[in-house]
Chains A and B, each alone.
Chain A
């Protein structure tokens, strides 16, 4: 079945540091890929998405590129801020699914001033 493997955390960075959170997946067909973020006390929010190979999703300075050859969707940001402290989830939606997302286990990011 479908699965998502996410870089284990927690990750602690200083402000303005470069961020990478690794995500690899296993799926049949051509899934859509997502990064969700959960800020303290809030629900999950879609951060970015990509629906086909070589697509790059971007939002709020975060980027991730759908790499079919390496089955990866790594999240990157060039300069993190304290406000980026949150839990980040990588997820996929298989081609035959509807509303069923397969999530990674989440990575806790803490950014210090």
Chain B
């Protein structure tokens, strides 16, 4: 299965700033997915990132707050904009492990703490 590297692994941020999380995959994939895990909560899909087109956002998530780039088939970034303490979460990048099987491989996550 694909190997996913995420950076940063963790960061402490100030309110009102923005942070970009990078996701690198060791093989070409069509779709990449960004999830959020808030403290004590389950994982929630933020958006799906396709190469060459706009990301598709889930209900409750908007592009202005979570802009996503997908410049090629192995890389994506998620930016968390104008952060508030409520954005303190683990953000995870994932790709489909087996085409069409809905089996996802996840990165180790980026743990953000907003003060």
Q: Which of A43, A104, A105 contacts B40 (CB 8 A)?
A: A105
Residues of A within 8 A of B58 (CB): 100
Q: How many residues of A contact B (CB 8 A)?
A: 24
**Given A93, A104, A105, which contacts B102 in the complex, CB threshold below 8 Å?**
A93
Within 8 A of A (CB), among B82-115: 92, 94, 96-97, 101-109
Question: Are A41 and B108 also in contact (CB < 8 A) when A46-B97, A93-B102, A105-B40 are?
Answer: yes
Q: Kindly report which residue of chain B lies nearest to residue A51, judged by CB atoms.
A: B101
A4–B108 Cα distance when bound, in Å, is 22
A106, chain B: closest CB distance, angstroms:
6
Q: Hey, what's the 0/1 contact readout for A33-49 against B, CB within 8 Å counting as 1? A: 01010000111111001
B45 touches A99 (CB 8 A): yes
A106 to B33, CA, bound (A): 20
On whether A89 and B107 interact (CB within 8 A), knowing A46-B97, A99-B31, the answer reads no
B47-85, CB < 8 A from A: 48, 58
The chain B residues found within 8 Å of chain A, CB to CB, are 4, 31, 33, 40-45, 48, 58, 92, 94, 96-97, 101-109
